[in-house]
């Protein structure tokens, strides 16, 4: 497939807002592509070169792209920068300048999709002395050989500005249509995606080998599994009822989610967002090598900073200081970590995700032999009092709360199910938990905030069924001056001229942004409102937050979560119902 044809499909995607229309366009695109092109098409559409755990980044700033466009078209960098400021979109600026240039195309040969992808990968992997100039030249060569429409998407790709609004769920449904003729195979595809975290690989497998390859998908070492997630309920009685009267109750640690992969002496540690964070935790790598009696293993755990002198767990605000690229050795001495293992997914060639929880835990416990990697604290409870007492004990020890787990449940990758249920401290008059919301727009500042040109956020939940972001609140409180500067800088780079296709909103902010960042919000309660679309049926009202405010004094953006991992519309609906039940109980009714 020529890159020009892919660009024309992207033009179609940008012109529609219906998710069903997007699925139709993507499925038609996949049908026309060759099997050896689909993987790269998925990566390009996602705006990446590889899945996040491979850690490959373009390394191109806006000024470098402007210089590439200038070299390719014969215009000056100042001309390019002027057009960019005018359009507010580097791709559109490149397209217009290509239409104006009097230079002939560098070559009559058109680039294929795979050639563009491989060039971009080469740009990303170029490093060392003179690498900046080499990157600029390589991109300029592609732009020079491109038509105006191709140039638009060629330059948007390395800037991570391909904003077609196509989410993972839309890609999976389109692949299902191509592979089986309808969208029903999406669940099988999603399962494969959940255990390899590589959407391009899933696309390639169904294109080359068909349905059976997906049905027989296997766990692979050093390809992280999308983590299992917990639902929530407000009372121990409801938790036990959901767990059929008996469950394991684990302590919930407020640290870094760590998925550990070990094969012999080779160790990798992946974050909640499936990024390779191995280099940040050499102390944990050493502990894995020494303290786990298994040749090959994948386990799930939480790392938390520990004060050896007082035997106390440190709060997340301190633990987060361990997540760094520099000064690691000093921080290891100042702030050692404990890794609390709580689940086993793979052991010596066997998939343990399909085994019952109690077997996974018992097996994992026998494999640990040391004082850095420990089993998470737990009890078996069959009465509300046992569960409540353990909850209070965990809170007193400085932990977040507890997670109840069904004794016979499997490890369900990438999903939020009632086989795991979390319980955090509930405060009278407030929600029992925070919400992780997606930023979809922002407002200009007024009054004392005028100087920051930032006055607040428009935030949304994720509706997994619709693959849409539904607004739930305007956030105007809780920001420090540093956070306002951080947010303004980050959001300016992703603002768009119109409402993104995957955003469902009645409220119109001063600026729309591509859904890319998550923030953590606290509110007093969830109410009903005609102004927001979260949980809103046609002609109905949606959910909204009362007195919402940003949580935390450090970074505003929650970078360990993707937008698809944000609080869902379904969760907000459940929290609203739970909130009403708690009020009734508190009133003595």
346 & 281 share domain: yes
pLDDT score for 477:
83
Q: Tell whether 27 is covered by a domain.
A: no
459 & 373 share domain: no
Asked whether residue 485 carries a pLDDT value surpassing 80, the answer given is: yes
Asked whether residue 588 carries a pLDDT value surpassing 70, the answer given is: no
Distance from C-alpha of 547 to C-alpha of 287, rounded to nearest angstrom: 45
Asked whether residue 501 carries a pLDDT value surpassing 90, the answer given is: no
Asked whether residue 306 carries a pLDDT value surpassing 70, the answer given is: yes
Domain encompassing residue 527? 435-586
Read off the CATH number of the domain in which 501 is found.
2.40.50.140
Quick check: 98 and 105 in contact, CB under 8 A? no
Distance from C-alpha of 194 to C-alpha of 415, rounded to nearest angstrom: 9
Q: Which residues, 6+ apart, have CB-to-CB distance to 156 below 8 Å?
A: 89, 90, 91, 162, 163
Which among 311, 313, 312 is positioned nearest to 303, based on CA atoms? 313
Q: Tell whether 478 is covered by a domain.
A: yes
- Which has the minimum average pLDDT: 120-134, 211-225, 272-286, 553-567? 553-567
Question: Which of 424, 446, 477 represents a domain boundary (last residue)?
Answer: 424
336 & 485 share domain: no
Q: What is the pLDDT of residues 506-543, one digit of tens each?
A: 999 999 999 999 999 998 889 998 999 999 986 689 99
Q: What is the pLDDT of residues 237-264, one digit of tens each?
A: 999 999 999 999 999 988 889 999 999 9
Quick check: 268 and 329 in contact, CB under 8 A? no
Q: Tell whether 380 is covered by a domain.
A: yes
pLDDT score for 425:
65
Which among 96, 89, 204, 105 is positioned nearest to 156, based on CA atoms? 89
pLDDT (mean) for 553-582: 83
Question: Which of 378, 393, 424 represents a domain boundary (last residue)?
Answer: 424
252 is catalytic: yes
Quick check: 30 and 203 in contact, CB under 8 A? yes
Asked whether residue 583 carries a pLDDT value surpassing 60, the answer given is: no
Distance from C-alpha of 301 to C-alpha of 255, rounded to nearest angstrom: 10
Would you say the C-alpha torsion 536, 538, 540, 541 has a positive or negative sign?
Answer: positive
pLDDT score for 243:
94
296 & 439 share domain: no
Which tokens hold the place of 95?
A: 């397209």
Asked whether residue 428 carries a pLDDT value surpassing 60, the answer given is: no
pTM above 0.75, yes or no: yes
Map 503-517 to HEC letters.
Answer: EECCCCCCEEECCCC
pLDDT (mean) for 482-505: 89
Distance from C-alpha of 33 to C-alpha of 18, rounded to nearest angstrom: 23
441 & 414 share domain: no
pLDDT band at 584 (very low <50, low <70, confident <90, very high): very low
Which tokens hold the place of 69?
A: 């466009």
pLDDT band at 396 (very low <50, low <70, confident <90, very high): confident
**Number of separate domains in the chain:** 2
pLDDT score for 427:
37
Asked whether residue 34 carries a pLDDT value surpassing 50, the answer given is: yes
Q: What is the pLDDT of residues 400-418, one digit of tens each?
A: 889 999 999 999 999 888 9
pLDDT band at 310 (very low <50, low <70, confident <90, very high): low
Cβ neighbourhood burial of 358 (10 Å; 0-12, 13-18, 19+): middle
439 & 543 share domain: yes
Which element (helix H / strand E) includes 572?
Answer: helix 569-586
Main-chain dihedrals φ then ψ at residue 85, nearest 5 degrees? -65, -35
Quick check: 9 and 171 in contact, CB under 8 A? no
Main-chain dihedrals φ then ψ at residue 23, nearest 5 degrees? -60, -45
315 & 253 share domain: yes
420 & 448 share domain: no
Find tokens 């020009």 and name the residue. 4
Q: Tell whether 164 is covered by a domain.
A: no
Mean of the per-residue pLDDT values of the chain: 89
pLDDT band at 589 (very low <50, low <70, confident <90, very high): very low
Q: Tell whether 176 is covered by a domain.
A: no
pLDDT (mean) for 424-453: 71
Q: Which residues, 6+ apart, have CB-to-CB distance to 31 below 8 Å?
A: 178
Q: Tell whether 123 is covered by a domain.
A: no
Asked whether residue 314 carries a pLDDT value surpassing 90, the answer given is: no
Which element (helix H / strand E) includes 527?
Answer: strand 525-529
Q: Tell whether 55 is covered by a domain.
A: no
Q: What is the pLDDT of residues 140-189, one digit of tens each?
A: 999 999 999 999 999 999 988 886 778 899 999 999 999 888 888 999 99
Question: Which of 402, 424, 446 represents a domain boundary (last residue)?
Answer: 424
Helix and strand numbers (H, E) in the chain are 21, 22
Read off the CATH number of the domain in which 414 is found.
3.30.470.30
Distance from C-alpha of 568 to C-alpha of 574, rounded to nearest angstrom: 10
pLDDT score for 587:
42
Q: Tell whether 384 is covered by a domain.
A: yes
306 & 357 share domain: yes
449 & 370 share domain: no
pLDDT score for 219:
95
505 & 362 share domain: no
Find tokens 């680039």 and name the residue. 111
316 & 357 share domain: yes
Selected catalytic residue, list 39, 252, 262, 561:
252
pLDDT above 70 as % of the chain: 93
Q: What is the pLDDT of residues 74-132, one digit of tens each?
A: 999 999 999 998 888 899 999 999 999 877 655 566 899 999 999 999 999 999 999 99
């Amino acid at each position: 497939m020529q890159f020009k044809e892919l660009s024309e499909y992207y033009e179609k995607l940008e012109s529609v807002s219906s998710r069903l229309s997007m699925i139709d366009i993507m499925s038609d695109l996949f049908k026309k592509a060759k099997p050896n092109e689909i993987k790269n098409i998925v990566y390009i559409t996602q705006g990446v070169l590889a899945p996040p755990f491979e850690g490959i980044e373009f390394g191109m700033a806006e000024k470098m792209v402007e210089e590439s466009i200038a070299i390719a078209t014969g215009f000056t960098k100042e001309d390019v920068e002027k057009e960019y400021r005018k359009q507010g979109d580097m791709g559109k600026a490149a397209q217009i300048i290509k239409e104006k240039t009097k230079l002939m195309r560098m070559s009559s040969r058109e680039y294929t999709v795979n050639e563009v992808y491989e060039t971009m990968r080469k740009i990303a992997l170029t490093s060392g002395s003179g690498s900046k100039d080499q990157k600029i030249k390589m991109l300029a060569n592609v732009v020079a050989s491109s038509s105006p429409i191709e140039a638009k998407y060629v330059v948007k790709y390395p800037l991570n500005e391909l904003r077609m609004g196509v989410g993972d769920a839309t890609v999976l449904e389109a692949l299902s249509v191509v592979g089986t003729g309808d969208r029903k195979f999406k669940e099988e595809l999603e399962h494969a995606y959940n255990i390899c975290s590589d959407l391009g690989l899933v696309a390639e497998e169904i294109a080359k080998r068909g349905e059976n390859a997906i049905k027989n998908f296997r766990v692979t070492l050093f390809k992280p599994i999308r983590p299992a997630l917990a639902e929530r309920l407000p009372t121990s009685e409801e938790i036990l009822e959901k767990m059929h009267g008996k469950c394991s109750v684990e302590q919930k640690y407020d640290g870094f989610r760590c998925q550990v992969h070990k094969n012999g002496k080779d160790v990798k540690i992946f974050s909640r967002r499936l990024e390779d964070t191995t280099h940040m935790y050499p102390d944990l790598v050493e502990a894995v090598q020494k303290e786990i009696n298994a040749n090959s293993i994948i386990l799930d755990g939480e790392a938390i900073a520990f004060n050896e002198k007082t035997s106390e767990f440190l709060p997340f605000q301190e633990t987060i200081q361990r997540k760094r690229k520099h000064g690691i050795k000093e921080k290891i001495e100042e702030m050692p970590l404990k890794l609390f293992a709580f689940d086993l997914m793979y052991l010596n060639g066997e998939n343990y995700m399909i085994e019952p929880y109690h077997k996974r835990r018992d097996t994992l416990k026998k494999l640990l032999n040391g004082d850095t990697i420990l089993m998470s604290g737990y009890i078996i409870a069959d009465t509300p009092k046992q569960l409540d007492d353990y909850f209070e004990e965990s809170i007193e020890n400085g932990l977040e709360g507890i997670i109840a787990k069904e004794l016979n449940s499997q490890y369900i990758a990438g999903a939020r199910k009632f086989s795991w249920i979390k319980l955090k401290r509930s405060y009278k008059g407030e929600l029992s938990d925070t919400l992780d919301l997606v930023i979809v727009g922002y407002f200009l500042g007024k009054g004392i905030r005028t100087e920051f040109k930032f006055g607040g956020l428009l935030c949304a939940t994720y509706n997994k069924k619709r693959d849409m972001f539904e607004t739930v609140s305007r956030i105007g409180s809780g920001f420090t001056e540093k956070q306002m500067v951080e947010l303004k800088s980050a959001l300016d780079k992703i603002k768009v001229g119109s409402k993104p296709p995957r955003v469902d909103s009645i409220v119109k902010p001063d600026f729309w942004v591509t859904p890319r960042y998550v923030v953590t919000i606290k509110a007093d309660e969830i109410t009903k409102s005609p102004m927001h679309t979260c949980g809103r049926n046609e002609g109905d009202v949606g959910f909204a937050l009362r007195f919402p405010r940003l949580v935390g004094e450090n970074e505003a953006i929650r970078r360990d979560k993707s937008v698809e991992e944000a609080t869902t519309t379904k969760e907000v609906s459940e929290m609203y119902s739970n909130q009403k039940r708690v009020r009734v109980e508190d009133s003595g009714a």
